[in-house]
Structure 1
Amino acid sequence: MTTPQVTPDQLREKLTEWAQANSTRSSAEDQQTREGFTQKFPLERLTSLTLDEYVMGRGDKENFSYWLEYRTDKLGSIAGGAARKFGVYWSAKKQSYVFTTMFGAPEEAKDRTLKAIQSGAQRVAADDYVGADDATAQMGEWRYTLRLKPLTLYFPDKLLPINNPYHLQHFLRLFGQEPTGGPISMNRQLLTYLQTLPEAAAYDSLGLMRFLYTVYPPPKDDGSGKGLTEDVRYLLEVAEHTNNIILYGPPGTGKTHTARAFAQAWLAPEPAVQVDEAGTQASTWWQAIALALGQLGNATAEQIQAHSVMKRFAQQRKNTRVKNTVWAELLIHTHPDDESSNTARRAKPYLFTHTPISQSSPSGTSEGTLWTLSDEGKEYVSQLRAGVHRAPEPPQALHFVTFHPAFTYEEFIQGLRPTPSGGFEVRDGVFKRLCDTAHRNPDQDFVLIIDEINRADTAKTFGELITLIEDGKRSTPGERGQYEVTLPYAPQDVEPFSVPDNVYVIGTMNTADRSITLMDVALRRRFTFIAVPPRPELLTGVVEGTGLSPARLLSVLNRRLTKTLDADHQIGHAYLMAETLTAGDLAFRWRHKIIPLLQEYFYAREEELKALLGQALYRDALGEQPLAQTGLIAALEDFAAREQAATPPQG
């Protein structure tokens, strides 16, 4: 996943090479699209747009939001995510406008957003990019794509049509530049650097954008088009160093959501690569090997690895163990009936066969292996060259399991399970099946998310594999590793089992159930633990129709919980998150989500709970003196005002 830096000379060479085969400037159609947008929505008229001229969802394709996302998509994409990224939209389901909680009303959402864009444009016109960042942040600092996209359309000569700040960071660091400032400043920084290279003079900003995304594509993201969250980006960095991670924190902090977002980013499919002059593409290692052998006729693994087809393919993949991968793929895609191969791990299509040979060298004669295509392999290569043969559907790469007190070794690894006839059979568990699949697919990564990993007896569930999952004791996918075990229930003629290093284990644990200090020491030593705390700063605005800030309410509650109990028993921000949090929503969540959790925390400690909540909220929680909705909101406002919150309310 780590991208090496590109030197100025290398970048200049690529700019020249790409310009020879591609258009470097906006087409007449591109220019017409941009002019259509600026004429329909001139900067000076932005703040006078009506709500329906701005919002998406009415079915009208002429509104500002629709033009930004769809009509000008080729001029810099902001695709993905929900329409709420525009601050306000029309919901056909609700038959009403929906707006984010930092705004008080639909009109306010529209007005503040358009005013921020107009103000940012004035600063870009004056070459004040830091000021433009400050001005556009008034619509919501995190609303990066909306802060960038309009300005790139109004100022194509001053900004690149790149609207994802994480992509901007990627390109800047790739070229040895340290990103500085906000998204608009980084955009300008990247364009300024590129324009110092003489070869870039042939490009306009749109041509540079297309060059960058084609030649130096950003790392995998979550597919939303909005970039990755800070938590996910940090996990991607951690996964460069370890295969075993546990996310821990109080309930409702988004641990499982973060784990899934990481997995989707890490496992994003890699595109097919053009591997020869005929334009033939390969999307898997075994396809590239088959194409190389199709040109070589027969060859050793070393000769295959050195072939131009393999070199082109390997350059586009993150796998650096090319020699090991070529060997593993050759063996795995040899037919099971072929006695020349001694591996038990096989996978279709069966393309290869080999024979032993003697090799002479100055040091003497040694034994080697000569590989060639099988009849099926020759037919496969002819189809692949013709562009009519596609790779089979890749195996499922993301797996999810939830641990519980009754979860066993037999379900996780392998064990005897009953059959319909009343007998027993040896059946593989979820983790062993995943590892076997990973061994058969060495060029693909796999992620197992174990939710609530601390609720099972981890020492018993992992068994002897608690050693094999260590980073330093993983095997190379498709090969037998230095550390392997014969599983207790496995037949004697089955290969020993090992855990390949293309399997990533991401656990989540709720610290309210069990602190990490109580976790099995062996498990703690083999996993990297990452805290996922409550983040009240994500709760923007106020409860609809009130002055109550969810961020302040959560902050005060968690400060008091930490003081009374400990930090493990806080409340996560997910309990109060919503596009628009109404008084009714808050009342329901307080009484039916948060109060039951607090009652569990303070079981048989009623006086402490009363001291925490206060008389009115305590009696309401017990049902002794229920409050009307307005009374409950007033009591919560009073509770939140008792002390200064650690995080001030947003909006």
Structure 2
Amino acid sequence: MNNMLENAIVDSLKSALQTWSRPDVSKGAQEAEALRAEFVARFPLTSWPNMSVDSYALGLTTDGGTVCWWLEFKTRPVASMSGGSSSKHLVFKGSGGDWRYPKQYSNVDEAWSAVRSGFVQLFDLAAQGNFDEADSITALVGAAALRTKALYMYFPDDLVPVCSKGHLHHFLRTLGEDPSDLPTIRANRRLLAALRAIPELAALSTQELGFFLYHWADPRSTVRVVKIAPGERASEWSDCLANCYVCVGWDDVGDLSQFPTKEAFREAFREKYPYNGHESQVSRKSNELWTLMELEPGDKVIANRGVSEVLAVGTVNEVGYVWRPERQQYRHTLGVDWDTSFACTIEPARGWATTTVSKVPAALFKAITGGAGSKTPIDVPRVFLDIEEALERRGQVVVYGPPGTGKTYTARRASVWLLEGGSAEPSAADVLEADDRFEVRERQLSAGRAQSNQLWFMVANPSHWPWSNLFSDTTVDYGLGRLKRNYPNVRAGDLVIGYESTPTKRVVALARVTSEYDPDAPPELALTLEPVARVNDGITYEELQADPILALSEPARFRCQGTLFALTAVEGDRLLSLLAERDPSLTTVAAPSVQQLTRVTFHPSYTYEDFVEGFRPAQTGNGALELTLTDGIFKRVCEAAAADKDRRYVVLIDEINRGNIPKIFGELITLIESDKRGLTVRLPQSGQEFAVPSNVHLIGTMNTADRSIHLLDTALRRRFSFIELLPDSDLLEGATAGVLALDVFLDALNAKIRERVGREKQVGHAMFLRKGIPIDSAEAFAAIFRFELLPLLQEYLYEDYKELEWLLGGVIDAESERVSQLADDPETLCAELANHLGANATA
């Protein structure tokens, strides 16, 4: 770290220290230290050379727990290494009882011998103070969080309790450090050194530093918000409030921290709570309970009574999950610091009636809290981060999946989020807060000037006629002048940039053409203009000549000696953007022809001429048609992006698989590759040298019910990343239609669909959403069932009514090959489906 911190960083640290209470944190730090000491006593360094795999591995049940169980679960208050799969522990026992280990080893004994030796080497290096080599131990490659957590447990003064490489790099960047290429342990050591160089933090222990870092600059892009009912009808609320926790039932399953994996927990939950053999219900309810293990300090909890009463809003504290056997019931608890000032009555949240633990949408959380707090939790979906990573790596990505999984919905929102700054800009998530806010910003990013409107640069001599006369006279007939070749190309609706020559030598007006050039009319009546806007502080002649893009334009090359000059789309966009920067009032009329977000839909008739360039019919001044070489949408975007390298441009291609990809992209299929961005190729029709800039990204969507990803053109598959979106029943959590639990219904229905016709033809969650909100009535469900769901299933099953009856139960009359009378009544329809698929919300 540099000796001098920037003033902004120092101010930020001091501000955070003022709102951070060390005495409040000290109890959590002491408890964490006690856990760490207990771990070291149970697994001393001297035990490692002869440690058995049964003492180490996750997935085994032993007295007191294994090393990995302690690192993953028991000591989470010390430093979290949650997230990801069990493979981060290198050697573990799977839910099926089989050993899992890196593929370079032939058996578990060989794997454990290598991993154990790696740990012994790791601890020896640390004891010698040689932490720089700790990231290079071959046997421990791929286990960065595990290495870091293990080292901190034994050497707490030499590291900070942060195990995530992403978090470490975030903290270093926030401190003004460059973490590029730093592996996890070296990044951790660099962070500790940077923190120790700050006098205000000198007295803090490393555990306290960990707490402070997440208070000051939390790198998590989202804060989870859930509602948890503290007992039936909030019967346990007074106890929860007094003891700073929330409690839930399902006590027969026992202490959650005893289970080495979520899979092992679910097996035990299924045994204790079989829910009449309905696996979807088992999955739904077990997920609710396991949420207590997944919530982290800083996440938010809403305590509720019924569907419309909020008792308090709380923040998960460092205590985390605790099994409390001393309680008579509701023994699963989660440490929460409560704030009862948010107690209120809300519009009924119907989903709360059937769930103990459920997610809370950002809009509802904001309505409850009124936006209070320094960090309003806005959920940035994981898939957005996946899309961002794929674009940085490849430059283009296809989001694919079954119908109704929100592919276009996701692609649109991810595009706007990316253009607002993505993960590098915390405020980018603000645009996702509400649909109306998103839609306004999407329109702003995509609403460009009509491409058919040419932009012209027109010069007037103020000694003969000043542009100010146009605004007083409201119209003017403009005479024929130089360059005469341009006049026949002018069309009604074209935008004119008005420039005054000496002595003004500045752009002073915007105008619009209202009548086109008539070669038979008198020269003084060549064109008719109307005023659009006066320009304040317009571009001068010197600035025109100095600009790297405008210096090559017609007016600059002819030194403004003439009357009518043509501007290319890129030159016009550049000039309008400069004018709008100086005069914000012009923003609405000076829109560029290509904005940062461009959306197109591929179809069988879409061509290379539409996408890149080609000859298209255009009307001439005398009304005839002629073929004109016209730039396609992708070429225009690339030219705009090349002139605006500091900003991203996104082309969103809906239904990308419905177009003939090789034919549409042509030679550009090579240029879009990340390592070939900037390379040029000569286009065959215009003869222009063309390149795809690195700041242009392509996001495609694809419906797998129409076409499998495996049938796509091989060249496309090599050059695009692919991200799958599957049905997400969590978005329907708690939603009911009559007695039908929609999330359980969707899971059970799709399980049957996968069995018969495959995973690519599942039913998406979006079918049961309206404006992002789950339907909540039997009538709404019945309409969707009859007009959307049933026709889709009939298509999938080729009108085989015996198969439909197997899938949907009594609502199908297989003998008469029709929908049964049970479907005529919405409530009865929902009840029959609930019984057939085990999706009864009251179960």
TM-score (norm 2): 0.41
**8 Å CA contact retained: 2:226, 2:360:** no
1:537 aligns with 730
State the 1:238 CA deviation: 2.6
State the 1:161 CA deviation: 2.4
Q: 2:831 aligns with which of 634, 638, 641?
A: 634
**8 Å CA contact retained: 1:617, 1:632:** no
**8 Å CA contact retained: 1:85, 1:146:** no
Whether 1:485 and 2:667 are equivalent positions in the alignment is no
CA 1:432–1:133 in structure 2 vs 1: closer, same or farther (change >3 Å)? Answer: farther
CA 1:581–1:147 in structure 2 vs 1: closer, same or farther (change >3 Å)? Answer: closer
Whether 1:108 and 2:306 are equivalent positions in the alignment is yes
State the 1:542 CA deviation: 3.9
1:514 aligns with 707
1:202-256 deviation digits (Å, cap 9, x = unpaired): xxxxxxxxxxxxxxxxxxxxxxxx2422221322233222211000100000111
CA 1:15–1:444 in structure 2 vs 1: closer, same or farther (change >3 Å)? Answer: closer
Whether 1:622 and 2:622 are equivalent positions in the alignment is no
**After superposition, where does 1:321-332 map in structure 2 within 5 Å?**
331-332=548-549
Residue 824 of structure 2 aligns to a residue in which SS?
A: coil
Rounded Cα–Cα distance in structure 1 between residues aligned with 2:585 and 2:802 = 73
CA 1:455–1:510 in structure 2 vs 1: closer, same or farther (change >3 Å)? Answer: same
State the 1:17 CA deviation: 5.6
State the 1:483 CA deviation: 3.5
- Whichever residue aligns with residue 568 of structure 1, its letter is E
Rounded Cα–Cα distance in structure 1 between residues aligned with 2:685 and 2:400 = 33
- Whichever residue aligns with residue 548 of structure 2, its letter is L
**After superposition, where does 1:180-219 map in structure 2 within 5 Å?**
none
Please, which runs of 5 or more residues in structure 2 have no aligned partner? Answer: 20-224, 229-287, 289-303, 322-333, 340-354, 425-545, 560-566
2:657 aligns with 454
Residue 449 of structure 1 aligns to a residue in which SS?
A: strand
Rounded Cα–Cα distance in structure 2 between residues aligned with 1:399 and 1:387 = 23
Rounded Cα–Cα distance in structure 2 between residues aligned with 1:447 and 1:148 = 30
Rounded Cα–Cα distance in structure 1 between residues aligned with 2:830 and 2:722 = 38
**After superposition, where does 1:70-469 map in structure 2 within 5 Å?**
108-111=306-309, 114-117=310-313, 120=314, 128=319, 131-132=334-335, 140-143=358-361, 161-164=374-377, 226-268=378-420, 331-337=548-554, 338=556, 347=571, 395-420=594-619, 421-469=624-672
Whether 1:504 and 2:697 are equivalent positions in the alignment is yes
Please, which runs of 5 or more residues in structure 1 have no aligned partner? Answer: 1-6, 27-83, 88-101, 155-159, 165-225, 272-328, 352-375, 476-481
CA 1:350–1:553 in structure 2 vs 1: closer, same or farther (change >3 Å)? Answer: closer
State the structure with more CA Rg.
2
- Whichever residue aligns with residue 622 of structure 1, its letter is R
CA 1:512–1:135 in structure 2 vs 1: closer, same or farther (change >3 Å)? Answer: farther
- Whichever residue aligns with residue 663 of structure 2, its letter is K
CA 1:461–1:19 in structure 2 vs 1: closer, same or farther (change >3 Å)? Answer: closer
- Whichever residue aligns with residue 656 of structure 2, its letter is I
Residue 306 of structure 2 aligns to a residue in which SS?
A: helix
CA 1:519–1:387 in structure 2 vs 1: closer, same or farther (change >3 Å)? Answer: closer
State the 1:162 CA deviation: 2.2
Rounded Cα–Cα distance in structure 1 between residues aligned with 2:767 and 2:608 = 34
- Whichever residue aligns with residue 307 of structure 2, its letter is A
CA 1:18–1:387 in structure 2 vs 1: closer, same or farther (change >3 Å)? Answer: farther
- Whichever residue aligns with residue 694 of structure 2, its letter is D
Residue 396 of structure 1 aligns to a residue in which SS?
A: coil
Residue 489 of structure 1 aligns to a residue in which SS?
A: coil
CA 1:412–1:109 in structure 2 vs 1: closer, same or farther (change >3 Å)? Answer: same
State the 1:430 CA deviation: 1.6
Between the two structures, name the one with larger relative contact order (CA 8 Å, sep ≥ 6).
1
Residue 740 of structure 2 aligns to a residue in which SS?
A: coil
**8 Å CA contact retained: 1:551, 1:649:** no
Rounded Cα–Cα distance in structure 2 between residues aligned with 1:19 and 1:514 = 54
TM-score (norm 1): 0.52
Rounded Cα–Cα distance in structure 2 between residues aligned with 1:623 and 1:153 = 48
- Whichever residue aligns with residue 712 of structure 2, its letter is M
Q: 1:472 aligns with which of 675, 683, 686?
A: 675
Q: 2:760 aligns with which of 568, 574, 588?
A: 568
Rounded Cα–Cα distance in structure 1 between residues aligned with 2:548 and 2:648 = 19
**8 Å CA contact retained: 1:335, 1:346:** no
State the 1:561 CA deviation: 0.7
Residue 115 of structure 1 aligns to a residue in which SS?
A: strand
**8 Å CA contact retained: 1:253, 1:533:** yes
**8 Å CA contact retained: 1:575, 1:589:** yes
State the 1:485 CA deviation: 2.7
Residue 507 of structure 1 aligns to a residue in which SS?
A: strand
Rounded Cα–Cα distance in structure 2 between residues aligned with 1:650 and 1:425 = 67
**8 Å CA contact retained: 2:736, 2:841:** no
Query: How many pairs align?
Result: 397
What percent identity do the matched residue pairs reach?
Answer: 31
Residue 639 of structure 2 aligns to a residue in which SS?
A: helix
Rounded Cα–Cα distance in structure 2 between residues aligned with 1:614 and 1:146 = 36
**8 Å CA contact retained: 1:398, 1:448:** yes
State the 1:461 CA deviation: 1.4
**8 Å CA contact retained: 1:468, 1:474:** yes
- Whichever residue aligns with residue 689 of structure 2, its letter is P
Residue 571 of structure 2 aligns to a residue in which SS?
A: coil
Rounded Cα–Cα distance in structure 1 between residues aligned with 2:656 and 2:585 = 45
**8 Å CA contact retained: 2:708, 2:760:** yes
Residue 635 of structure 1 aligns to a residue in which SS?
A: helix
Q: 1:549 aligns with which of 741, 749, 766?
A: 741
1:68-94 deviation digits (Å, cap 9, x = unpaired): xxxxxxxxxxxxxxxx9999xxxxxxx
CA 1:540–1:435 in structure 2 vs 1: closer, same or farther (change >3 Å)? Answer: same
Q: 1:586 aligns with which of 756, 781, 785?
A: 781
**8 Å CA contact retained: 1:549, 1:649:** yes
Rounded Cα–Cα distance in structure 1 between residues aligned with 2:415 and 2:761 = 27
State the 1:116 CA deviation: 4.4
**8 Å CA contact retained: 1:245, 1:527:** yes
Rounded Cα–Cα distance in structure 2 between residues aligned with 1:460 and 1:232 = 30
Structure 1 stretch displaced more, 9-18 or 252-261: 9-18
Rounded Cα–Cα distance in structure 2 between residues aligned with 1:19 and 1:242 = 37
Rounded Cα–Cα distance in structure 2 between residues aligned with 1:331 and 1:505 = 27
**8 Å CA contact retained: 1:145, 1:163:** no
- Whichever residue aligns with residue 645 of structure 2, its letter is P
The CA RMSD measured in Å over matched residues stands at 4.7
State the 1:147 CA deviation: 6.6
